[in-house]
Chain A
Amino acid sequence: MNFVVPDFYPAAAEIFVAVMALVIMLASTFARSVARNLAYLLTQATLIVAAFITIFTMEGEVVHTFSNLFISDLLGDVLKLMIYFSTAIALLYGRGYLADRKIDKPEYYLLALLMTLGMMVMVTANHMLPMYIGLEMMSLALYTMVAFDRDSARSTEAAMKYFVLGALASGLLLYGMSMVYGATGTLEFSGVAQALYNQTANQTVLMFGLVFLVAGICFKLGVVPFHMWVPDVYQGAPTAVTLVIATAPKLAAFAMAVRLLIWALFDIAEEWQMMLMLVAAASIVLGNLAAIAQQNIKRMLAYSGISHMGFMLLGLLAGVVEGDRHFALNAYSSAMFYAISYVIMSLASFGMLILLSRAGFEAENIDDFKGLNKRSSWYALMMLFVMFSMAGVPFFIGFFAKLSVLQAVVAAGYFWLAVLAVVMSVIGAFYYLRVVKVMYFDDPIDASPIHAAPEVRVMLSANGLAIAALGLAPQALMSLCAFALLRSL
């Protein structure tokens, strides 16, 4: 048997992160006295260096390696950059929060890095097995991070829920993959696509497989009817961890959806579009309605996240209309733009929660934002940006995100879906407005000054301003999404 040395170059970033994870593990074992700071700084450095590696190894064309298990393309590179970026910011925001609660152990950063690695593998998988391995790597790290505050019953419960349901979803996904394998004889995305194109696949088995795959994807995105874990986990997890869950993994799940559904199963797009349509409509309705009733802002943001993911799916389901693939690029890039916009907004919203929390005090009720304008008009303004952006009001990035997915839906001719989405976003606007209301119209119940590390202040301000700036000039990010998809398809 002859052994071919694969081309490691396209996977340099993944390899680097894996090595650094081990380095951090060893370093924090041997240098116990400075372990916390060391692990944090090394993790941030790893993410930054990984970003540079990704930029320098960017090929501009599609490259396969490791016997076609691995794909390097512009889509993957852009998503990976976004993942580093959002993980780094999430860790930066969360550091003080964890320190206040004495859970900033070096293992936390190690897990975060392993989670990042899992997501990177998901993004660059060209085969269902690495996709699955990446997913599990990410999920296992996240389960542990949710339970990181091990003395908190709520966190442990949330972690348990997350783990059990997550394992179930992984099982569904794996089962779906095995059926697709049964139908097409391959697990490699291009091979599956080829088999579908040649119409050699067994349709019945394929459809069953598709249903399980979509169920698995929907679980990871956290959309109805696979959303049960989202509010409980968001609420139960320490806010710093919620911040992590609500951001980068959404991008990884988006990548998973794109790779599985578009790369592999594009020929049966109209089948999965039907499923996504129901899922998206249900998510937008349920997410927005349930969010209204919440007093806990983490729970509210969880439901709002469900509806946002529903909106993102609107882009994915508008690609193929009656066999016409003309709209596909436009629709998928709008979904990608939506996902990235959501991550940026989500970072800022949970970042604000962390900003308001301090040792011995968890900011997690909407009432904790009362009178923020009187306590700090600057951060009230930033939160105002976030809330109006999430509600889809211009001049914020959320408006253009909604505009682009609605444009895709209208172009595909699904007017009822567009009207439903719009009516629901008016209902959704209510709970975002309520946060603005408590910040601006009510008197503070807690007059303690806001204290946070300078880098958190700077980053959070930059994050809020980015929401406004990208709303004034969305073109660059939009065309980046379109270009990345175009060059990767």
Chain B
Amino acid sequence: MTDIPLLSLAIWVPIIGGLLVLATGSDRNAPLARMLALAVAVAGFVVTIPLYTGFDVGTSAMQFVELQSWVPRFNINYHLGVDGISVLFVLLNAFITIIVVAAGWQVIQNKVAQYMAAFLIMSGLMNGIFSALDAVLFYVFFEASLIPLYLIIGIWGGANRVYAAIKFFLYTLFGSLLMLIALLYLFMQSGGSFSILDWHQLPLPIEPQILIFLAFLVAFGVKVPMWPVHTWLPDAHVEAPTGGSVVLAAIALKLGAYGFLRFSLPIVPDAANELAPLVITLSLIAVVYIGFVALVQADMKKLVAYSSISHMGFVTLGFFMFNKLGVEGALVQMISHGFVSGAMFLCIGVLYDRLHSRQIADYGGVVHTMPKFAAFFMLFTMANSGLPATSGFVGEFMVVLGAVQYNFWIGFVAATTLILGAAYSLWMYKRVVFGKVANRHVAELEDINGREFAFLAVLAVCVLAMGLYPFPFTEVMHASVNELLRHVAVSKL
């Protein structure tokens, strides 16, 4: 292994780069800010590549570990490391950042430097979340990442942006502060350690386990978001600028799900087993009920937002099956959802930039004026509905298989998402893209330009590659998932 602190680079290159972009100041220097932001985003991605190429798939131990004392007074350490569960998210995050920077290239004309800087800083913070092995470090990144997104939604968002931004912030803050108390309790119980890995070994009686589990459930459940604390997400998505929606859907939602795997399952396994029916019920409600809610949306962004909640319900469902297919399927689903939902929001963004409307009713017959776009949009819509040969299929299929292993009827209910997903995605696609040209504005639409083509094509390749050959993704996670499941099966009472 090299001595280069790769994870630190993955975190701090975007953050420091973001500060540099911020320093370019006013909009007179906007071209410079854009170029610099792109350079930083690419550099941020490049430094994460060795994380994958140098990753040892044979072990479940943490890799690329960095350990330094941060606040000795409370034994808080700057402790980083990734395993098969987290490494892919670091890569995904760095990759999506490039797309987001590209997506905001022309659309954002106001406070460009601040926009780009906010995304870069957020990207670094989120890499920190995925690689933190110290609970306070995790918490610090987890909360700090709210600030840039709050600003992104609030400054560059739509008409009702202030409400959405504040709602987003307060919901997530509430969840995470309850988690903070659980973390402080664990700190006390473990005799003064904030190390997540130490906590994995810490025996706990069942009552505190249940309380800790519930605190984590609120924190991560809000972030995922799970039914019934999902209501911030449609607001945030609808009001956020395209880039904000992409990051929110592709990465930020994964933070909650990741938290379940890093905290809830290994630290309080008995409570997780005890309360699995609760989480499974909530997940199924999200999958089915939110699927129906998505069906009736008139706003495209809202529709995709609800579809995200439904897909994330699938993820939490997979985790709490406690079998390998379920957990791996859920992880694959998370990565896939990162690509697909990101792409969906980009497609909607492409339309919105031209027509300034997200209402399905304002469109119709887009295929006549934007054929290239329609092709990409179709691929992503299919992936969103879980068509085989796209990435969406792999994860959903694995989770459904895992669910059937666990309990046939749960698997049965979960499988309805394949129908519902197809229904709302394809119906929206039909109304927007096919049919006669709906109005004068649609007739004047211009097809996607080179820049838009580039980022949609890259995502399309990812979606197809992952759908046809998911092995490079699942290979990485095997050892860690096995270890996690072994750990969950052992009681800590």
Per-residue CB proximity of A412-438 to B under 8 Å, as 1/0? 000100110011011001100110110
The contact of B74 among A384, A403, A434, by CB within 8 Å, is A403
Q: Is B413 an interface residue (CB 8 A)?
A: no
Whether the Cβ atoms of A415 and B181 lie closer than 8 Å is yes
Q: Mark A397-411, 1 if CB is under 8 A from B, else 0.
A: 001100110110011
Q: Please give the residue numbers on chain B whose beta carbons come within 8 Å of chain A beta carbons, in ascending order.
A: 25, 70-74, 111, 114, 136, 139-141, 143-144, 146-147, 150-151, 154-155, 161-162, 165-166, 169-170, 173-174, 177-178, 180-181, 184-185, 187-188
A422 near B185 with CB under 8 A, answer no
A475 at the interface (CB under 8 A from B): yes
Q: Does A441 contact B (CB under 8 A)?
A: yes
CB-CB under 8 A from B155, the residues of chain A are 373, 440-441
Q: List 13 extra interface pairs beyond A404-B74, A436-B151, A441-B155, CB under 8 A.
A: A377-B25, A393-B144, A394-B144, A399-B140, A410-B187, A425-B177, A426-B174, A440-B151, A440-B155, A441-B165, A474-B73, A475-B71, A475-B73
B147 — which chain A residues lie within 8 A by C-beta? 384, 388, 393
The answer to whether A203 has its CB under 8 Å from any CB of chain B is no
Cα(A377)–Cα(B114), bound, Å: 9
CA distance A400 to B136 in the complex (A): 10
- Interface contact B181-A475, CB-CB below 8 Å: no
Which of A391, A394, A410, A478 has the most B CB atoms < 10 Å from its CB? A394
**Distance from A356 Cβ to chain B, minimum over Cβ atoms (Å):** 20
Q: Least Cβ distance of B15 to chain A in Å?
A: 10
Contact B140 A479 (CB under 8 A): no
- Taking Cβ atoms with an 8 Å cutoff, the residues of A that contact B are 373, 377, 384, 388, 391, 393-395, 399-400, 403-404, 406-407, 410-411, 415, 418-419, 422-423, 425-426, 429-430, 433-434, 436-437, 440-441, 474-475, 478-479, 482
Knowing A395-B140, A406-B181, the reply to whether A437 touches B165 (Cβ < 8 A) is yes
Q: Which residue of A lies closest to B179 (CB)?
A: A422
When A and B form their complex, what is the total count of cross-chain residue pairs whose Cβ atoms lie within 8 Å? 96
Known: A393-B146, A426-B174. A441 touches B169 (CB 8 A): no
CA–CA, A358 and B169, complex, Å:
33
A-B contact pairs, 15 of them (CB 8 A): A373-B111, A377-B25, A377-B114, A393-B144, A394-B140, A395-B140, A403-B180, A407-B184, A415-B181, A418-B181, A422-B178, A423-B174, A430-B166, A433-B169, A441-B154
- Judging by beta carbons under 8 Å apart, are B71 and A474 in contact? yes
Which of A394, A418, A437, A482 makes the CB contact (< 8 A) with B154? A437
**Min distance, Cβ B112 to any Cβ of chain A, angstroms:** 12
Q: Kindly list chain B residues whose C-beta atoms are within 8 Å of the C-beta of A422.
A: 177-178, 180-181
In whole angstroms, what is the CA distance A403 to B180 when docked? 8
Q: Which residues of B contact A426 (CB under 8 A)?
A: 170, 173-174, 177
Give the secondary structure class of B's interface: helix
Contact assessment for A419 and B166 in the assembled complex, using a CB-CB cutoff below 8 Å:
no
Min Cβ gap B470→A in Å is 36
Closest to A381 in B: B22
Contact A429/B173 with A410-B184, A419-B178, A441-B154 known, Cβ cut-off 8 Å: yes
Question: Contact between B154 and A440 (Cβ–Cβ < 8 Å)?
Answer: yes
Give chain A nearest CB distance to B314 CB in angstroms.
29
Residue of A nearest to B186 (CB): A410
Q: Which of B71, B141, B165 contacts A400 (CB 8 A)?
A: B71
Q: Is the CB of B181 within 8 A of A437?
A: no
> In the complex, A430→B184 CA distance in Å?
24
Please report the C-alpha to C-alpha distance between residue A482 and residue B71 in the assembled complex, in whole angstroms: 13
Q: Is B184's CB under 8 angstroms from A418's CB?
A: yes
In the complex the two chains form, is A406's CB within 8 Å of B180's CB? Answer: yes
Which residues of A are found within 8 Å of B169, using beta-carbon distances? 429, 433
On whether the beta carbons of B170 and A393 are closer than 8 Å, the reply is: no
6 closest A-B pairs by CB: A394-B140, A410-B184, A422-B177, A441-B154, A478-B73, A426-B174
Cβ contacts under 8 Å, A478 to chain B = 71, 73-74
- Cβ–Cβ < 8 Å partners of A395 in chain B: 140, 144
B213 to chain A, nearest CB (A): 15
> Chain B residues near A406 (CB, 8 Å)?
180-181, 184
